[in-house]
Amino acid sequence: MININKYVLSLLVENRSGVLSKISGLFSRRGYNIHSLTVGITEDPNISRMTIVTLGDEQLLEQITKQLNKLIDVIKVMELNTEKCVSRELALIKISKPPSTQSLITESVGIFRGNIVGLDSTSMIIELTGDEEKITAFIDFIKPYGIKEIIRTGLTAIER
Protein backbone atom coordinates (compact mmCIF):
# COMPACT_ATOMS: atom_id res chain seq x y z
CA MET A 1 0.00 0.00 0.00
CA ILE A 2 1.36 3.35 -0.97
CA ASN A 3 -1.12 5.71 0.60
CA ILE A 4 -2.47 4.42 3.88
CA ASN A 5 -5.62 6.28 4.80
CA LYS A 6 -8.16 5.93 7.53
CA TYR A 7 -11.70 5.14 6.39
CA VAL A 8 -14.88 5.08 8.44
CA LEU A 9 -17.46 2.52 7.34
CA SER A 10 -20.97 2.66 8.69
CA LEU A 11 -22.93 -0.57 8.28
CA LEU A 12 -26.55 -1.44 8.83
CA VAL A 13 -26.78 -5.14 9.68
CA GLU A 14 -29.50 -7.58 10.71
CA ASN A 15 -29.61 -7.86 14.49
CA ARG A 16 -28.98 -11.61 14.65
CA SER A 17 -26.48 -13.67 16.59
CA GLY A 18 -23.40 -14.49 14.61
CA VAL A 19 -23.39 -11.32 12.53
CA LEU A 20 -20.50 -9.73 14.42
CA SER A 21 -18.55 -12.96 14.03
CA LYS A 22 -19.23 -13.07 10.28
CA ILE A 23 -18.02 -9.53 9.76
CA SER A 24 -14.93 -9.76 11.93
CA GLY A 25 -14.23 -13.17 10.37
CA LEU A 26 -14.38 -11.60 6.90
CA PHE A 27 -11.90 -8.92 7.91
CA SER A 28 -9.47 -11.34 9.49
CA ARG A 29 -9.44 -13.97 6.75
CA ARG A 30 -9.01 -11.46 3.97
CA GLY A 31 -6.36 -9.54 5.87
CA TYR A 32 -8.31 -6.31 6.20
CA ASN A 33 -7.45 -4.09 9.14
CA ILE A 34 -9.90 -3.33 11.97
CA HIS A 35 -8.66 -0.18 13.67
CA SER A 36 -11.81 -0.02 15.79
CA LEU A 37 -15.32 -1.49 15.76
CA THR A 38 -18.46 -0.40 17.58
CA VAL A 39 -21.94 -1.86 17.29
CA GLY A 40 -25.33 -1.15 18.80
CA ILE A 41 -29.07 -1.23 18.16
CA THR A 42 -30.77 1.42 16.04
CA GLU A 43 -34.30 2.82 16.19
CA ASP A 44 -35.39 -0.47 14.57
CA PRO A 45 -34.73 -3.35 17.03
CA ASN A 46 -34.12 -5.75 14.14
CA ILE A 47 -31.29 -3.64 12.75
CA SER A 48 -27.92 -2.85 14.31
CA ARG A 49 -25.47 -0.16 13.31
CA MET A 50 -21.82 -1.07 13.10
CA THR A 51 -19.06 1.51 12.73
CA ILE A 52 -15.72 0.19 11.59
CA VAL A 53 -12.57 2.25 11.19
CA THR A 54 -10.14 0.62 8.78
CA LEU A 55 -6.72 1.51 7.42
CA GLY A 56 -5.90 0.98 3.77
CA ASP A 57 -5.92 2.48 0.31
CA GLU A 58 -8.71 3.17 -2.20
CA GLN A 59 -8.43 -0.20 -3.92
CA LEU A 60 -8.59 -2.07 -0.62
CA LEU A 61 -11.58 -0.02 0.50
CA GLU A 62 -13.42 -0.93 -2.70
CA GLN A 63 -12.80 -4.64 -2.07
CA ILE A 64 -13.80 -4.36 1.61
CA THR A 65 -17.05 -2.61 0.67
CA LYS A 66 -17.88 -5.15 -2.03
CA GLN A 67 -17.10 -8.17 0.18
CA LEU A 68 -19.20 -6.72 3.03
CA ASN A 69 -22.10 -6.19 0.64
CA LYS A 70 -21.95 -9.87 -0.31
CA LEU A 71 -22.78 -10.90 3.27
CA ILE A 72 -26.50 -11.67 3.46
CA ASP A 73 -26.79 -10.09 6.92
CA VAL A 74 -25.33 -6.77 5.80
CA ILE A 75 -28.12 -4.45 4.66
CA LYS A 76 -26.14 -1.37 3.74
CA VAL A 77 -22.54 -0.23 3.66
CA MET A 78 -21.64 3.46 3.63
CA GLU A 79 -18.30 5.15 3.67
CA LEU A 80 -18.55 8.20 5.89
CA ASN A 81 -16.86 11.34 4.76
CA THR A 82 -14.96 12.29 7.92
CA GLU A 83 -15.52 15.98 7.23
CA LYS A 84 -19.26 15.64 6.77
CA CYS A 85 -20.05 13.50 9.78
CA VAL A 86 -20.22 13.87 13.54
CA SER A 87 -17.99 11.30 15.19
CA ARG A 88 -17.72 10.49 18.87
CA GLU A 89 -15.78 8.16 21.07
CA LEU A 90 -16.01 7.50 24.81
CA ALA A 91 -12.91 7.03 26.95
CA LEU A 92 -12.63 6.02 30.60
CA ILE A 93 -9.21 6.88 31.99
CA LYS A 94 -7.91 5.86 35.39
CA ILE A 95 -5.03 7.97 36.61
CA SER A 96 -2.97 7.90 39.80
CA LYS A 97 -3.79 10.86 42.00
CA PRO A 98 -0.90 12.41 43.83
CA PRO A 99 -2.35 15.21 46.03
CA SER A 100 -0.06 17.90 44.65
CA THR A 101 -1.48 17.70 41.12
CA GLN A 102 -5.14 17.05 41.92
CA SER A 103 -6.41 20.54 41.30
CA LEU A 104 -4.45 20.80 38.03
CA ILE A 105 -6.00 17.57 36.81
CA THR A 106 -9.49 18.65 37.89
CA GLU A 107 -9.07 21.93 35.99
CA SER A 108 -7.85 20.22 32.83
CA VAL A 109 -10.77 17.78 32.94
CA GLY A 110 -13.04 20.82 33.01
CA ILE A 111 -11.23 22.37 30.05
CA PHE A 112 -11.72 19.17 28.04
CA ARG A 113 -15.35 19.07 29.19
CA GLY A 114 -14.92 15.64 30.74
CA ASN A 115 -16.29 14.31 34.03
CA ILE A 116 -14.66 12.81 37.06
CA VAL A 117 -16.73 9.69 37.65
CA GLY A 118 -14.60 7.91 40.23
CA LEU A 119 -12.39 9.09 43.05
CA ASP A 120 -10.59 7.35 45.85
CA SER A 121 -7.43 7.87 47.83
CA THR A 122 -5.13 6.54 45.12
CA SER A 123 -6.82 7.03 41.80
CA MET A 124 -9.26 9.05 39.80
CA ILE A 125 -11.47 7.90 36.89
CA ILE A 126 -12.16 10.41 34.16
CA GLU A 127 -14.89 10.02 31.56
CA LEU A 128 -14.41 11.87 28.29
CA THR A 129 -16.40 11.97 25.06
CA GLY A 130 -15.38 13.62 21.85
CA ASP A 131 -13.87 12.96 18.49
CA GLU A 132 -10.72 10.90 18.20
CA GLU A 133 -8.37 13.88 18.15
CA LYS A 134 -9.79 15.31 21.37
CA ILE A 135 -9.48 11.99 23.22
CA THR A 136 -5.93 11.53 21.99
CA ALA A 137 -5.03 15.10 22.93
CA PHE A 138 -6.30 14.61 26.49
CA ILE A 139 -4.45 11.34 26.88
CA ASP A 140 -1.23 12.93 25.66
CA PHE A 141 -1.73 15.77 28.10
CA ILE A 142 -2.49 13.55 31.11
CA LYS A 143 0.24 10.96 30.42
CA PRO A 144 2.95 12.60 32.56
CA TYR A 145 0.61 12.43 35.56
CA GLY A 146 0.49 8.66 35.51
CA ILE A 147 -2.12 6.75 33.54
CA LYS A 148 -3.11 3.44 35.14
CA GLU A 149 -5.64 2.22 32.58
CA ILE A 150 -7.39 3.48 29.46
CA ILE A 151 -10.55 2.05 27.96
CA ARG A 152 -11.68 3.49 24.63
CA THR A 153 -14.83 2.39 22.84
CA GLY A 154 -13.70 3.18 19.34
CA LEU A 155 -15.39 5.59 17.04
CA THR A 156 -19.03 5.79 16.15
CA ALA A 157 -20.33 8.34 13.68
CA ILE A 158 -23.42 9.76 12.07
CA GLU A 159 -23.75 11.72 8.85
CA ARG A 160 -24.78 15.33 9.08
Q: Does 15 bind another protein (CB under 8 A)?
A: no
Q: Does 3 bind another protein (CB under 8 A)?
A: no
Please state, in angstroms and rounded to a whole number, the distance separating the CA atoms of residues 32 and 8: 13
What would the x/- binding string for another protein be over residues 82 to 111, using CB under 8 A?
A: ------------------------------
Window contacting another protein (CB under 8 A); options: 68-76, 83-91, 106-114, 132-140: 68-76
For residue 77, the SS3 value is: strand
Amino acid identity for residue 56 in this structure: G
Which of 83, 84, 52, 7 shows the shortest CA–CA distance to 156? 52
Q: Whole-number minimum distance, CB 28 to another protein, in Å?
A: 10
Q: Whole-number minimum distance, CB 76 to another protein, in Å?
A: 8
Q: Between the CA of residue 61 and those of 1, 69, 85, 92, 141, what are the distances in Å?
A: 12, 12, 18, 31, 33
Q: Does 21 bind another protein (CB under 8 A)?
A: yes
